[in-house]
Every structure is written in C-alpha cells, then in structure tokens.
C-alpha cells in the first residue's frame, strides 16, 4: 500500500460540471457517439489532469473496430505521452459507449468480476497519484438521445476482484427482469461500494450538431467530486 504524502487540488463538483460544459468534452462525446451509432462498435475517450497546474487534457476519441474499444486506459493522451508512463497525469473521467442502442445500460461482465468494473479499477492503480475517476458507460438511440451511466468507486483503495465479483452478482439479478438504467445505478449505489447516477443527453441536429445536457443533468455530476492524493 502506498504512503500518502500530500493531498492534491480537489476535483470539485464545479470542476466536473465545467468539464461537461466544455466544447472539447462535448465534441469528443459527439464523435464517439457518432462512431458507435454508425458502426455498432464501441468508442470512448479519457480526460486526465496534470499535477502542476490542475489543467484538464483530453485524449482523442478512440474508435473500436470490433467488440470493444482498444485499451483506452493506456492510450496516448494528446502530446503528453502515455498515461501509464507519465506520473504527472492522473485520470479524472473515462467514458465508453456500449454497442447496443437498445435496452438499458449495465456494466459488462466476466468471470473475474466485470470487465467494465475491472477496467475502471485499473485507472486507479500503478501510478503515483491515488485517484477516484468518474467513469461512464453510454448508449445512443435512433432518436439521437442517449444515456450515460455514471459510476465511481467509493473506497480509498481500488476494489479487489472479489468485491467487484460481489457487485456484479448484485447487478446480475437485474438481468432476469425488465430493468432500466436507473435500476442499475440504484443497485450499484445499494452495494455501498459505488456512487452511481444516470445522465441523459440529446444530439441537437439544428445548424452545427452538438450535444445538449440540461442544467439539471449537468448538476448530477457534482456528487462525484473527489480529492486525489500523491503517494509513494
């Protein structure tokens, strides 16, 4: 276990709302949504923050060519090098669109406790900064409206595979019934190991196409504020 040396600048609720309002963020979300809607393949991007200035840096939209996107958590971040090899950067937000436009959103599973949950956990480990990034699974429908299932580990340390397996066993019970994305978020929250919520958006086709979140939807992300810590 790393020893905490110092707390870094918090990622506040206002910071997260500001990120959702940024044009760069919305353009990436639109680009990823268009790819998944057109090809049926997953897509996504990551947002990181630097320690010296607490500025946000955005990856390019990563486009899948098969069942899943490439290993985006280790993707190059613009000109700032690999996240895995650059200790001055730490993840703030990770998003990917699921292939299916029909039905509710739910983290995907493997026998080891959930592919999505395990992928998100990797973002917290092996670096000098202990972070609790906000993670997002999205879908885009034929009516150009979409949902984001937001989730964040509540624990100081990344969840062990056994705990992720427990979370998946709770989610798996939903699959036998007609459930909604909100039901999945509620189940994640009930475990006590995740914060989770649903944010809805639409693509405005008038003039320049762009992503639209209502003010109420933007405010939902405030609850995912966290304070990263520098460890050795």
* Three-class SS of the chain: CCCEEEECCCECHHHHHHHHHCHHHHHHHHHHHHHHHHHCCCEEEEEEEECCCCCEEECCCEECCCCCCCCHHHCECCCCCEHHHCCCEEEEEEEEECCCCCCCCCCCCCCCCCHHHHHHHHCCCCCCEECCCEEEEEEECCCCEEEEEEEEECCCCCCCHHHHHHHHHHHHHHHHCCCCHHHHHHHHHHCCCEEEEEEEEEEECCCCCEEECCHHHHHHHHHHCECCEEEC
Q: Give bridge partners of residue 147 from the DSSP assignment.
A: 139, 200
Question: What confidence score (pLDDT) does residue 123 get?
Answer: 66
Question: What confidence score (pLDDT) does residue 164 get?
Answer: 85
Question: What confidence score (pLDDT) does residue 79 get?
Answer: 37
Higher local confidence (pLDDT), 192 or 229: 192
Per residue in 152-167, pLDDT (tens digit) is 999 877 888 888 888 8
Q: How far apart are CA 179 and CA 169, in angstroms?
A: 15
Per residue in 104-147, pLDDT (tens digit) is 898 876 544 456 777 666 666 545 778 889 999 999 988 889 99
| Cβ pair 92, 19 in contact under 8 A | yes
pLDDT at position 95 over 50: yes
Question: What confidence score (pLDDT) does residue 41 get?
Answer: 85
pLDDT at position 75 over 50: no
pLDDT at position 81 over 50: no
Give me 57's structure tokens.
Answer: 């840096």
Kindly report which listed range (14-18, 74-78, 195-199) carries the lowest average pLDDT score.
74-78
- Residue range 3-30: mean pLDDT, rounded: 89
pLDDT at position 184 over 80: yes
Token look-up 């949950």 returns 117
Question: What confidence score (pLDDT) does residue 121 get?
Answer: 67
Give the pTM: 0.87
Question: What confidence score (pLDDT) does residue 23 get?
Answer: 95
Q: What integer best gives the mean pLDDT of the chain?
A: 82
Higher local confidence (pLDDT), 228 or 120: 228
Give me 184's structure tokens.
Answer: 């999945």
H helix count then E strand count, the chain: 6, 11
pLDDT at position 199 over 90: yes
Token look-up 């607490």 returns 54
Instruction: Give the model's confidence band at 223: pLDDT under 50 very low, under 70 low, under 90 confident, else very high.
Output: very high
The residue count of the chain comes to 232
């Amino acid at each position: 276990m790393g020893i905490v040396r110092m707390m870094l600048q918090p990622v506040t609720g206002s910071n997260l709302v500001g990120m959702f309002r940024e044009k760069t963020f919305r353009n990436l979300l639109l680009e990823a949504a268009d790819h998944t809607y057109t090809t049926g393949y997953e897509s996504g991007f990551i947002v990181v923050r630097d320690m010296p200035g607490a500025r946000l840096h955005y990856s390019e939209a990563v486009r899948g060519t098969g069942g899943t996107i490439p290993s985006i958590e280790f993707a190059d971040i613009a000109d700032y090098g690999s996240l895995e090899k650059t200790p001055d950067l730490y993840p703030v937000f990770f998003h990917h669109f699921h292939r299916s436009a029909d039905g509710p959103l739910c983290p995907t599973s493997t026998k080891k406790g959930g592919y999505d949950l395990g992928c998100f956990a990797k973002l917290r480990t092996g670096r000098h900064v202990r972070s609790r990034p906000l993670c997002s699974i999205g879908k885009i429908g034929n009516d150009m409206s979409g949902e984001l299932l937001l989730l964040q580990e509540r624990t100081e340390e990344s969840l062990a595979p056994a705990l992720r397996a427990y979370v998946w066993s709770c989610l798996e019970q939903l699959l036998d019934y007609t459930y909604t994305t909100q039901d999945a978020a509620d189940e994640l929250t009930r475990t006590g190991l995740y914060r989770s919520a649903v944010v809805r958006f639409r693509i405005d086709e008038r003039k320049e196409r762009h992503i639209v979140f209502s003010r109420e939807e933007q405010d939902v992300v405030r609850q995912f504020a966290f304070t990263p810590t520098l460890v050795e």
